[in-house]
């Protein structure tokens, strides 16, 4: 790859998000938590690697302000439809989401057993960073507490496998390279969701301790976010 090619790629990374990382992510990530049904207070938070290592591939540059993004054509391909994580017994349908209409806030799954993939980054398998989220806990219609799809995400360890099935029936394997927890308002959260110069996926959910606050939209917030980063498994020299 030439210097000009690298520069062009870096520019695509910076403008590739169809939403503003500056305002959206620090607000939107806080909305991954629904009204708490289960508490993770006192649960050990993950420390497989560090947040600095996870965001080390994030492109430099300040994200554009809302409405100031430069139009760009991103790579397209089959969207993810299923996420399987054997270690923590996850076998979940994947829904495609983006932002809430008319806002800069990330939409979240409307069921506790679903994972979400965000279409402001290219889908898995195209050399970028595909973003997934899922609830840590949930409430049934009769308000009974149940675990969410990513309740055990904090248990993943470096080397664990994550499989993503696409619309075309192909499955892409990834290996966990980091699993960390950071404060819900850490600006590194936004960096973790930016495109990267290699084929990776990032999974995000809530963690830590639930702090009730009736003034907040969801009645409170979790103190931390759990971030899992995984790289694509390369077999026989093929990507």
pLDDT at position 160 is 98
What are 58's two structure tokens? Answer: 């994030």
Confidence (pLDDT) at 84: 98
pLDDT at 215: 83
For 185-194, write each residue's pLDDT tens digit. Answer: 888 888 898 8
Among 118, 111, 81, which residue's Cα sits nearest to residue 97?
118
The closest of 154, 175, 191 to 230, measured between CA atoms, is 175
Looking at the chain, how many residues does it have?
239
Share of the chain above pLDDT 90, in %: 40
The pLDDT assigned to 27 comes to 45
| pLDDT surpassing 70 at residue 13 | no
**pLDDT tens track for 150-161:** 999 999 999 999
pLDDT higher than threshold 60 for residue 124: yes
Could you give the CA distance from residue 157 to residue 173 in angstroms, rounded to a whole number?
15
Instruction: Classify 136 as helix, strand or coil.
Output: coil
CA distance linking residue 230 with residue 185, whole number of Å: 22
**Residue 182 near residue 227, CB atoms below 8 Å:** yes
Query: What average pLDDT does this structure show over 209-221?
Result: 81
Alpha carbon distance 217, 213 (integer Å): 9
User: For the chain, give me the number of helices (H) and strands (E)?
Assistant: 4, 11
Q: What pLDDT, on a 0 to 100 scale, did the predictor assign at position 158? A: 97
User: What confidence score (pLDDT) does residue 3 get?
Assistant: 52
Q: What share of the chain is helix, strand, coil (3-state, %, to 5)?
A: 20, 35, 50
Q: Quick one: pLDDT at residue 6?
A: 46
CA dihedral 6, 8, 13, 18 (to 10 degrees): -170
Q: What pTM does this model have?
A: 0.81
Q: Is the pLDDT of residue 171 over 70?
A: yes
What's the rounded mean pLDDT across residues 64-73?
A: 44
pLDDT digits (tens, 9 = 90+) for 18-67: 334 444 454 455 545 554 545 555 567 898 988 888 888 555 443 333 33
CA angle 71, 53, 64 (to 5 degrees): 20
Higher pLDDT, 39 or 107: 107
- Residue 227, pLDDT above cutoff 80: yes
Mean pLDDT along residues 68-78: 66
pLDDT at residue 172 tops 60: yes
Domains defined along the chain, listed by start: 3-63+78-232 (2.40.260.10)
* List of E strands, 107-183: 115-118, 129-134, 137-139, 145-147, 161-166, 171-183
pLDDT category of residue 130 using cuts at 50, 70 and 90 = very high
């Amino acid at each position: 790859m030439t210097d000009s090619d690298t520069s062009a790629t870096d520019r695509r990374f910076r403008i590739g998000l169809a939403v503003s990382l500056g305002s959206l992510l620090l607000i939107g990530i806080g909305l991954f938590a629904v009204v708490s049904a289960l508490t993770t207070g006192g649960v050990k938070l993950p420390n497989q690697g560090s947040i600095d290592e996870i965001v080390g591939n994030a492109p430099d540059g300040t994200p554009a302000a809302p409405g100031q993004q430069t139009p760009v054509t991103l790579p397209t391909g089959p969207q993810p439809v299923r996420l399987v994580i054997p270690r923590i017994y996850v076998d979940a349908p994947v829904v495609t989401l983006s932002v809430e209409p008319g806002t800069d806030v990330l939409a979240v799954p409307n069921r506790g057993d679903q994972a979400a993939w965000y279409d402001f980054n290219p889908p898995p398998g195209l050399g970028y960073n595909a973003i997934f989220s899922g609830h840590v806990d949930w409430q049934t219609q009769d308000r009974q507490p149940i675990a969410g799809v990513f309740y055990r995400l904090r248990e993943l360890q470096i080397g664990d496998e994550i499989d993503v099935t696409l619309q075309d029936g192909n499955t892409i394997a990834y290996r966990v390279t980091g699993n960390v927890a950071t404060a819900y308002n850490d600006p590194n959260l936004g960096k973790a969701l930016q495109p990267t110069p290699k084929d990776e996926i990032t999974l995000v959910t809530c963690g830590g301790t639930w702090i009730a606050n009736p003034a907040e939209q969801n009645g409170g917030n979790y103190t931390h976010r759990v971030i899992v980063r995984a790289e694509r498994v390369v077999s026989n020299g093929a990507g």
